[in-house]
Structures are given as C-alpha cells and as structure tokens.
Structure 1
C-alpha cells in the first residue's frame, strides 16, 4: 500500500484524501472486502501511480505475463507457416566445415520437398540450413534466444522470433514442425534431441521422426545408449528405434515425407502431431 494515499502507522487516508467507508462492502472484481480488508486506494490508482520502486517488473506475476506474451507472439507468427521441419546443429560450425555444406543441402532439399525450415536462428549449422532454405526460395525461420554471447539472428532468416525463455522457444520448435533433423552439435543440440525423443517416447507427440545426420559424429552416443543405458535397463530397445542416423540428405528428407504421408493417411482421432 502506497504511503502517498495512506498513513502506514494508522492505515488511515493520507492528508488530502477522502476517507473510505469501511462499513460498506467493497468490490474488487469478483472479490468482496469488508471492515479492515477494505483498501484505501483503487486498482486504477495503483496502476497509474508511477512512484515507488521498479523491482515489481522482476516479480513472478509480471514474469508470467512475459511468458504468456512469448507464447502469443510465437503462435501468432508461426500459425500460418505450413509444413515445416526443425533443424538443429552447432552454432560453432564454421563455413568451411563439411557440416556447413551439409546443412545448406539439407535446407534446400527440405524446401524442394515443400517444407519451411526452422532453426535456432544462430550462426554455424543453423545459419547453413537457413541459407539453403533461403537461397532455394523457401521460408527460412529463426527462433532466437536471449544469450550473453549470441549476436542475433543470421542474415538468412526471413521470419524471426526472439525469445527470453528456452521453454517457450522449445514449444515452437515442436508445435510447428513435422519432424527434427539434427546436425552435429553440442549441449544445446543434445538437449533438443533428447527432449524430442522423450516427447515421442511418452506419446506427448504423435509420429514425430527424429533424424541424426553424420553417422561418424553420432556413433559414440549410440554406442553408449546401447552399451550402457540399454544394458542397464534404463531404456528399452524400442526407444532406440525412435532415432534414425544417416549421412544422406535425400534419405533424411524421405523419412520426414514418409512419416508425414503416413500420418495424413490415418483416420483422425482428435489428437494432433504436436505437443500438448
């Protein structure tokens, strides 16, 4: 309660304010207040009074509004995107790395198959996929994230949305994509891979292909999953079937197309292909 309208010690209106009638019911939206609970200022007063500390903008209720706004902006920007594939990979991949050229071919190939390309919008492998899509005349999407060491969206992004929160951004990667294709990458890429696998494994998404490109890069991870996780019983053999590994761009795209067609041929059951 602001000292501008009440006396903190007596809970009485400050000088110059009209006294409030605490004997009557006070309505604040759906809430009814009486006696000592009757406030001495209105909601509009608190809204329009700009005095006082600004730390409220960092409080959880305000943070919830920011989170909500990110979902609204993301949904609004991507709702009419059409068929799309999310492509992940390292921001550290240099333009002279063979993976960069692989990303360009992948982006162009996905556009040729009728898909928009969604990446994290950063440099490296993400830029390569955006570049391939852009130069092939398709829709190139970048979903950026606020990080202290990122420089913004790459120049090949046609439609970009920047996010504060990883979880809001991740929802957009899944909700608007028919599948994931994953180029070699680090912790962020691994995070996306395992989240996608978990969503399919737990049936939070339906028929969602996950393709890892670069067999030499991913082989060590697959060996560990089989030799350690599967051997210990922490995953099942069918969980490994959720992942396809290839070095062939055409094969990766064919997997996405085949899954998309199979899903389209299924009778509707009231569930979508994307996250709940």
Structure 2
C-alpha cells in the first residue's frame, strides 16, 4: 500500500496494545489465525531453500557508499559458494546483498519484508519475497532457514536482530551458528563496550565473546560460515554413526 492507504498503525502495534475498549477480547483469538497463516506461508515458501545465510544491515545506506559495495560483494561471494542470500528485503544494505546474489547465475535471493507505518517496498533484486505483518514471525523465518548471520553496519533493527541471534546461540535455544560482524571501524566501539562493561562486570562469560567474529574481509566472512557448516555436518554424521552403532549392539 502507498500514500493515504498506508495504515497509521501496524498489526504488531494493535496486537500489543492494552489500552482502549474490551474489543480485544473478541479480536485477539482471530488474530491467532492470522499469525498461524503467516507461519504456514513462511514455512511453505522457504521449506525447499538451499543452505542460506542471512545478511542484516541498514535500510538507509546509499548505493554509492563503501557499505553498499561491501554488501554487494558479500552477496555475490555467498552465492558463488552455493548459499541462498536472505535479507529483510528492503533498500540499503539489504538491497546490496540481494543484488550481489543475483550477479551469480542460478543464485537464490530472498527478501523477508515487514509491515511498517511508513512506505518501504521490496527491493528489485529479490526473486522470492514474503511480506510479514508480525516481527516475531519474520524473526522465526530468519533463524529457521539460516545457517549463519552476517551483520553489516545498521541501526536499531540491525542491533535487534544481532542480539536476538546472539541470545539464541548463547542460551542454546538453537543449534549454534556463526555470527559475523563486517566493518571493524563501525562495530569496534560496541565490541569494546561488550568486553569492558559486559564481560568486565561479569554480565557475560569469557567464552561468550567467541560467539562474535569481526572482520572487514568478505572472503573471511564467508569462510567462517563454510567452516561452521562443515563442522555441523561432521557432528551430525558422528551422531548418526553413534546412533547406528548403539542400535546394532546386541541387547
């Protein structure tokens, strides 16, 4: 929707609002069906994706900036390595990664968009796009269908997605996957604060720092994803062998 047809509030806002009349008592059960439908659509559309990597970053990044160029190079390298590229589907860094993926013949470029109270369309370099009403449904799709996250410079949305991924890995709510930050100058201050304040006051453990890798090198970022992917594959094979051996043992 565009112009005057864009609603003044989002579905998330209306779902989470507690003020007002008691209409929500009757409306929220129906919202559950809408939420269910979003999960069903997302699972159905993404179930047959090849191994994929999610790239986060600012929607406000101009196309003539180094961050945009880095995003495009990253998208291209991921696609050349055989990964589908997933972004939030918007402009800026998201567009650059989708665009880089489509520089490679046969690559899959995915955009998972979100309803916002201002106009933002899916970028032109997405060949599989899904628009979500609810942030939590969209985040589930990012996590379920990615084997790694790479964050380029971004704002609150990027930070939200970054720390959600780190929290899920730290608490072992998901099978561990790599989280890479690209742009050492941009992320350096945040990492210094994490080390000095969070680690320094005991809010995180020393090994939690190992969940994050910072680099300026596209090749290194992709190599981290590949190495982690191979390690997971070896672990699965060992687990299957162990299970088979236990099954074969005489009772």
Common fold: TM-score over 0.5:
yes
Residue 39 of structure 2, aligned match among 40, 60, 71: 71
How many aligned positions are there? Answer: 216
**Which one scores higher on RCO, CA 8 angstroms, separation ≥ 6?**
2
Match of 2:68 in 1: 100
* Structure 1 alignment gaps of length 5 or more: 1-54, 271-276
User: RMSD of the alignment, in Å?
Assistant: 1.5
Aligned match for 2:162, one of 174, 187, 193: 193
Deviation for aligned residue 1:267: 3.3
Aligned mate of 1:121, from 64, 86, 89: 89
Q: What is the deviation of 1:58?
A: 7.5
Structure 2, unmatched stretches of 5+, are: 1-22, 241-251
SS in 2 for 1:147: coil
Give the 3 Å change call, closer, same or farther, for CA 97–202 of structure 1 in structure 2: same
Matched, 1:155 2:124: yes
Q: Give the deviation of 1:136 after TM superposition.
A: 1.5
* TM-score, normalised by the number of residues in structure 1: 0.76
User: Which contiguous aligned blocks of 4+ residues in structure 1 show a shift greater than 2 angstroms?
Assistant: 55-58, 267-270
**Bigger helix fraction:** 2
Of the candidates 212, 216, 239, which is equivalent to residue 247 of structure 1?
Answer: 216
- CA distance in 2 between partners of 1:98 and 1:73 (Å): 35
Rg larger in 1 or in 2? 1
Question: Is it true that 1:227 corresponds to 2:196 in the alignment?
Answer: yes
The answer to whether the Cα contact below 8 Å between 1:56 and 1:62 also exists between their aligned partners in 2 is no
Deviation at 1:57, TM superposition (A): 11
TM-score for the superposition, normalised by structure 2: 0.83
